[in-house]
Amino acid sequence: MIELRNVSFSAYDEETSQNNYILKEINLNIYKREFVVILGKNGSGKSTLVKHFNGVLIPTSGDVVADGINTKDEDKFCEIRQKIGMVFQNPDNQIVSSVVEEDVAFGLENLGIPRREMVSLVDNALKCVGMYDFKKSSPNMLSGGQKQRIAIAGVLAMNPECIVFDEPTSMLDPEGRKEVVDTIQNLKKGNGTTIVLITHNIEEIFCADRVIIMDSGRIVSEVTPYEILLDKNYMRMLGLKATQSIDLFYKLAGRGINLPFLTADEDKCADMIVEFLEEKKCR
Amino acid sequence: MAADIVLGQYLPGDSLLHRMDPRAKILLSFWLMVIVFTAWSYISLTIISVFTFIMILASSIPIKSYIRNTGFIFAMTLFSSFLNLFYGVGEPIFEWGFITITASGIQNSIVVAARIFDMMMISACLMFTTSANDMTHGLEKIMSPLKFIGVDVDDVIMMITISLRFIPITLEETNKIINAQKSRGADMNKGGPIDRIKSFTPIILPLFASTFRRAYELSMAMECRCYGLKGSRTHLKNFKLGIADLFAMVLVGLIMIGVIFCNNMDIAKII
Ligand SMILES: Nc1ncnc2c1ncn2[C@@H]1O[C@H](COP(=O)(O)OP(=O)(O)OP(=O)(O)O)[C@@H](O)[C@H]1O
Ligand SMILES: [Mg+2]
């Protein structure tokens, strides 16, 4: 789906007045229908990396090939961006119109989709993120989580094959975060969309097929979510905080009680413990 | 909250005028104002004023709102038309010292007052019954022929749309910054005028910084959604002329004929 070959990116740094490499010789493949999480400290180049995926940034050297199209090909910009959508951190700064349905239609309007098709595409996208009832509202009236879902619908309406999320939940409250995470998971399950997610939140890495860890412009390792959780060094390196349920999992494991799987969801965790206790009683 | 700030003077409702096509509404309002300006005989003015009054009733917005919104300007108008009273030419009807009042003076002052009053009511009617968004889209459709002479209507409309969305957000942010600076001990209401202007620097600077960041992020998000990459855009919003619009057009047409026809009739001659 997306292939990066030897990608380096440099930008002029005013403080040191020289060209600084922000990305250094990155080789990476993102496959169709995959869910990839990118982790890394602040300033490690995560955002810079994903902006290469759809040609917002063009590599200083190396090539990015998205679905067979090289991002250096200016004539195909529109096609690449239709195929690879992006959702950013601040929901307010990606919503264009003061009517929800018009904002969702924005991308379609840009693509020149005829009006008749547009109406059903917008409705479907809004239903997909569960915001159909707010079709005529003003985004100003919505919560952060709802606004972020509108932003997702706006990208979704363009029928992308891959959606890149750059810290989509970092400005939201826990409730909004849950709404958005659920929406992202549904996308993967329902539409089979390829998903790339940048996050600082450990609870969001569980559904990933693969976790890529970046440090100062390089990919330092590729692991599964469980490897991160099992290795405290990773957690420390990334400055991730274990949630209570993860801590609990380890403490129980230390006493010989092994729960069936690791989860960050406290409700699920409670369910598992109850199940475990009941099983024990039966025996 | 940003939600509290409503731009424009739109008063939501479901009246005949609210449901009219914004394109027709904008054009007809404009046309009515032209008609108002051509009316100068008493009968013509009466026709158009009665029509304006019917419009106000049809908007089902309380007359109070109209008075509140236009009261001040209307008072000014009355004053200026009162002055007009003394600048007529022809046979004086009334003379006292240096004050002379003629028939043409009386007519002038009534005509001026009635015209301005009607125009204010017509524009208020348009503003009250059309949301900012509809207004933008209506203008977009009306101005679209300008494309042929090289004016980029789409870009202008996009600017208006974005402003409509971000003005409330920016106002809200300004309040946040003011509160943040106050909580650090900034005092906005002390000293002379220069001190006061200076005390706004810690508000304006962060506001600028954050607005530029917003603009940068927004433009990137728009670019990611293919804005400006393809030649022509299509539009979700579509207006259809309804029966109400046709009816309004016919009515305004009749009013125009009536006004032109009656302009040469003098009320005195008929009586
Ligand atoms: N256009 C640019 N010019 C100069 N330096 C830049 C530019 N864009 C990014 N940088 C620098 O590149 C580094 C990586 O930035 P990037 O935004 O990709 O990090 P990040 O991993 O997304 O961090 P965060 O977690 O804070 O979002 C930062 O040190 C940043 O200052
Ligand atoms: Mg970032």
Instruction: Tell me whether residue B184 is exposed, middle or buried, using C-beta atoms within 10 angstroms of its C-beta: 0 to 12, 13 to 18, 19 or more.
Output: exposed
Distance A55 CA to ligand 1 centre (A): 17
Give the C-alpha distances (Å, rounded to integers) separating B207 from A91, A140, B129, B168, B176: 19, 19, 33, 14, 10
pLDDT: is A108 or B231 the higher one? Answer: A108
Ligand 1 and A44: CB distance under 6 A = yes
Query: Domain range holding A271?
Result: 242-283
Nearest CA to ligand 1 atom 2: A11
Percent of chain B exceeding pLDDT 90 equals 25
Round to whole Å and give the CA distance between A17 and B213: 23
pLDDT of residue B209: 93
Nearest CA to ligand 1 atom 7: A11
Summarised one tens digit per residue, pLDDT across range B20-38 is 999 999 999 999 999 998 8
Asked if residue A38 and residue A91 are part of one domain, the reply reads yes
Q: Is the pLDDT of residue A61 over 80?
A: yes
Mean pLDDT of chain A: 88
Mean pLDDT computed over A58-71: 92
Asked if residue A260 and residue A188 are part of one domain, the reply reads no
Asked if residue A176 and residue A57 are part of one domain, the reply reads yes
pLDDT: is B228 or A104 the higher one? Answer: A104
Asked if residue A102 and residue A17 are part of one domain, the reply reads yes
- For tokens 């009968």, the residue is B43
- The CATH number linked to A146 is 3.40.50.300
pLDDT band for B1, please (50, 70, 90 cuts).
very low
Q: Is the pLDDT of residue B7 over 60?
A: no
Comparing A38-52, A233-247, B155-169, which segment has the lowest mean pLDDT? A233-247
Percent of chain A exceeding pLDDT 90 equals 57
Rounded to a whole number, what is the largest CA-CA distance in chain B?
A: 77
How many C-beta atoms surround the C-beta of residue A264 within 10 A?
Answer: 21
Summarised one tens digit per residue, pLDDT across range A141-186 is 899 999 999 999 999 999 999 999 999 999 999 899 989 999 998 9
Q: What is the pTM of this model?
A: 0.83
Mean pLDDT computed over B261-267: 75
**B240 in A contact zone (CB under 8 Å):** no
Identify which of A91, A246, A1 has the alpha carbon closest to the alpha carbon of residue B221. Answer: A91
pLDDT: is A229 or B261 the higher one? Answer: B261
Summarised one tens digit per residue, pLDDT across range B179-207 is 888 888 877 777 778 887 887 888 889 99
**B232 in A contact zone (CB under 8 Å):** yes
pLDDT band for B3, please (50, 70, 90 cuts).
very low
Q: Is the pLDDT of residue A99 over 60?
A: yes
Asked if residue A114 and residue A138 are part of one domain, the reply reads yes
Mutation target vs A (from B225, B232, B233, B235; most A CBs, 10 A cutoff): B225
Cβ atoms of A178 and A185 within 8 Å: the answer is: no
**B147 in A contact zone (CB under 8 Å):** no
The token duo for A267 is 């409700």
Asked if residue A164 and residue A101 are part of one domain, the reply reads yes
pLDDT: is A232 or B37 the higher one? Answer: B37
- The interaxial angle of helices B103-129 and B22-38, nearest 10 deg, is 180
pLDDT band for B72, please (50, 70, 90 cuts).
confident
Asked if residue A179 and residue A121 are part of one domain, the reply reads yes
Q: Is the pLDDT of residue B5 over 90?
A: no
Q: What sign does the dihedral A170-A174-A177-A182 (CA atoms) show?
A: positive
Mutation target vs B (from A89, A96, A155; most B CBs, 10 A cutoff): A96
Do the chains contact at B218 and A93, CB–CB below 8 Å? yes
Measure in Å the smallest separation between the Cα of B25 and chain A Cα atoms. 21
Round to whole Å and give the CA distance between A252 and A248: 6
Alpha-carbon dihedral angle through residues A75, A78, A79, A84, given to the nearest 10 degrees: 130
Across the interface, which of A54, A112, A158 has its CB nearest the CB of B232?
A112
Distance A274 CA to ligand 1 centre (A): 45
Asked if residue A152 and residue A83 are part of one domain, the reply reads yes
Q: Is the pLDDT of residue A245 over 80?
A: no
Rg of chain A in Å (alpha carbons): 21
Asked if residue A190 and residue A94 are part of one domain, the reply reads yes
Amino acid identity of residue A66, one-letter, is A
CA atoms within 13 A on the CB side of B33: 15
Asked if residue A246 and residue A129 are part of one domain, the reply reads no
Cβ atoms of B2 and B167 within 8 Å: the answer is: no
Asked if residue A210 and residue A267 are part of one domain, the reply reads no
Comparing A241-245, B138-142, B172-176, which segment has the lowest mean pLDDT? A241-245
Q: Is the pLDDT of residue A83 over 60?
A: yes
Nearest CA to ligand 1 atom 16: A45
pLDDT band for B268, please (50, 70, 90 cuts).
low
B-chain residues within 8 Å CB-CB of A167? Answer: none
- For tokens 């799987």, the residue is A261
Pocket mutation for ligand 1, best pick of A47, A51, A170 (most atoms within 8 Å of C-beta)? A47
pLDDT of residue B117: 87
Q: Is the pLDDT of residue B2 over 50?
A: no
Asked if residue A273 and residue A187 are part of one domain, the reply reads no
Pocket mutation for ligand 1, best pick of A46, A57, A215 (most atoms within 8 Å of C-beta)? A46
**B160 in A contact zone (CB under 8 Å):** no
B74 phi and psi angles, rounded to 5 deg = -65, -40
Domain count, chain A: 2
B-chain residues within 8 Å CB-CB of A114? Answer: 234
Summarised one tens digit per residue, pLDDT across range B40-70 is 888 888 999 999 999 999 998 888 888 887 7
Summarised one tens digit per residue, pLDDT across range A105-129 is 999 999 999 999 999 999 999 999 9
Percent of chain B exceeding pLDDT 70 equals 94
pLDDT of residue A17: 75
Q: Is the pLDDT of residue B266 over 70?
A: no
Helices (H), ranges, B89-152: 103-129, 132-143
Helix (H/G/I), strand (E/B), else coil: A61? strand
